[in-house]
Amino acid sequence: MRIKRLTDEICEVVTRHLVSKQPNRANGDEVLAKERARGHRAGRAISVSQVEIDHLDLSAERHGFGAMDWCLRSIG
């Protein structure tokens, strides 16, 4: 049981941003494939959006990582 829990935790860390909990680029292809299939089954189109936040590291250096975390949570 402990190995499964640790494996699940590793998968979570690898595929989701630690603060916003949003899927990251590492699992983007998997999420896109699932959403495309779901849209196809429902006979509906899907929309995809990706946001790149410029200078986030600089903002964290100037205002602290708490401010960066707040920014990511408010976007996600």
Residues in a beta bridge with 16: 23
pTM of the predicted structure, to 2 decimals: 0.46
Residue type, 60: A
51 half-sphere exposure, CB direction, 13 A CA radius: 9
pLDDT at 24: 77
User: Tell me: the pLDDT tens digits for 16-28?
Assistant: 777 777 777 777 7
57 by Cβ neighbours in 10 Å (0-12 / 13-18 / 19+) ranks as exposed
Q: Name the token pair of 18.
A: 């630690």
pLDDT at 76: 64
